[in-house]
């Protein structure tokens, strides 16, 4: 928790001076990356730890809805692709936990915050994948929304986060394409397959639109994140990019976006109807959806993996020269 000083704005913490902040912000304005050993405002550090650790948790919890389908994939080809995708998400979690660790938080502290619900993870992963088409729709819409957000974050001011994002985005692009290819195929298939794709779109459209965060007017963190070059676009700007790309593509695939108010304005933007934010917050708090189940699953994985961590610690602490196996 950072402390503010009387008579200074909230983003300047106790012991920091406006001059330090001005020099720091000049570096960002000049396009320099901030690296782990550099001076940084305590609030910049806090915001990055919050956001990167929540992003890491999202990748790891995000393995659950798709992972359920590995044993039920319809063909060997689809199974192999899905296994690679889920494994990629674990890798993304690793890069991101490492990036957050460079800011002085430990892996244990982050996991504890996830399991005690002090830290959030993306609302989208509290929804169930009820049919095989949901796996394709997650790839197309969820990875599609994530890429829009993460391409922006690849240009962010913190070096380790920015570099992690470059690699993650290239993998997410493959995830997005495989999801789109699946859904386009099913939408052109039998009436039953097309209906399965449409039902999946009906389930995932609104959660995907919501996952990019509350409207800018209700986003308490955007001000500081934009000030410090962490967010280069606002939640609503990223959402608009996502909608503009995906609505025409879904229509071209023969599917109907489940928003009766969706229309194109004179500037060519696709304008969505009202978003149900009550649902969004209830899902984040675990009052609706699978939040409780997701945390219980992560807790079980943590408990069942304790012996592996203990064995690794014992191995690392073994006397010098002792045989490794
Ligand atoms: N879900 O001030 P705001 C993936 C919270 S995973 C839950 O606008 P901010 C994938 C927000 O944290 C991709 N909570 O926040 C993996 C804040 O609460 P706190 C995940 C949300 O940070 C597996 C409060 O609402 N991507 O690609 O300025 C399989 C107020 O919001 C959500 C990332 O994590 C939400 N959807 O902006 C497939 C990207 N939205 O923390 C795919 C990194 C908002 O103050 N994160 N909240 O208690 C970000 O870019 C930003 O954090 C957000 C929110 C745009 C999400």
Domains of the chain: 18-307 (1.20.1260.10)
pLDDT, block means (10 residues), the chain with 325 residues: 66 92 97 97 98 98 98 97 97 98 97 97 98 98 98 98 96 97 98 98 98 98 97 98 98 98 97 98 96 97 96 91 71
CA-nearest of 196, 113, 212 to 153 is 212
Ligand 1 geometric centre to CA of 211 (Å)? 7
The pLDDT assigned to 2 comes to 55
Q: State if residue 50 touches ligand 1 by the CB under 6 angstroms criterion.
A: yes
Q: Is 57 in the pocket of ligand 1 (CB under 6 A)?
A: no
The reported pLDDT for the residue numbered 7 is 72
HEC secondary structure over the chain? CCCECCCCCCCCECCCCHHHHHHHHHHHHCCCCECCCCCCCHHHHHHHHHHHHHHHHHHHHCHHHHHCCHHHCCCHHHHHHHHHHHHHHHHHHHHHHHHHHCCCCCHHHHHHHHHCCCCCCCHHHHCCCCCHHHHHHHHHHHHHHHHHHHHHHCCCCEHHHHHHHHHHHHHHHHHHHHHHHHHHHHHCCCHHHHHHHHHHHHHHHHHHHHCCCCCHHHCCCHHHHHHCCCCCCCHHHHHHHHHHHHHHHHHHCCCCCCCCCCEECCCCCEECCCCCHHHHHHHHHCCCCCHHHHHHHHHHHHHHCHHHHHHHHHHHCCCCCCCCC
Distance 258 CA to ligand 1 centre (A): 23
């Amino acid at each position: 928790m950072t402390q503010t000083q009387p008579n200074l704005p909230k983003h300047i913490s106790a012991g920091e001076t406006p001059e330090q902040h001005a020099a720091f912000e000049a570096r960002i304005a000049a396009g320099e990356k901030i690296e782990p050993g550099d001076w940084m405002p305590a609030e910049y550090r806090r915001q990055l730890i919050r956001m990167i650790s929540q992003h890491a948790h999202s990748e790891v919890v995000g393995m659950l809805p798709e992972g359920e389908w590995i044993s039920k994939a319809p063909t060997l080809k689809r199974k192999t692709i899905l296994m690679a995708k889920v494994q990629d998400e674990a890798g993304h979690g690793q890069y991101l936990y490492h990036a957050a660790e460079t800011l002085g938080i430990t892996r244990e502290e982050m996991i504890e915050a996830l399991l005690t619900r002090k830290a959030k993870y993306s609302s989208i992963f509290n929804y169930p994948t009820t049919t095989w088409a949901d796996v394709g729709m997650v790839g197309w819409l969820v990875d599609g929304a994530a890429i829009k957000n993460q391409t922006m974050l690849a240009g962010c001011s913190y070096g380790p986060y920015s570099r992690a994002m470059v690699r993650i985005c290239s993998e997410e692009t493959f995830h997005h394409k495989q999801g789109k290819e699946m859904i386009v195929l099913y939408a052109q298939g039998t009436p039953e397959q097309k209906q399965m794709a449409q039902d999946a779109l009906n389930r995932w459209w609104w959660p995907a639109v919501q996952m990019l965060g509350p409207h800018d007017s209700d986003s308490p963190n955007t001000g500081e994140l934009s000030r410090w070059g962490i967010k280069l676009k606002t939640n609503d700007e990223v959402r608009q990019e996502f909608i503009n790309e995906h609505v025409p593509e879904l229509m071209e695939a023969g599917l109907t976006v489940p928003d009766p108010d969706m229309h194109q304005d004179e500037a060519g933007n696709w304008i969505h109807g009202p978003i149900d934010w009550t649902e969004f917050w209830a899902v984040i708090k675990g009052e609706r959806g699978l939040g409780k189940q997701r945390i219980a699953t992560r807790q079980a994985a943590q408990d069942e993996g304790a012996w592996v961590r203990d064995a690794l610690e014992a191995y690392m602490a073994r006397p010098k020269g002792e045989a490794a196996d």
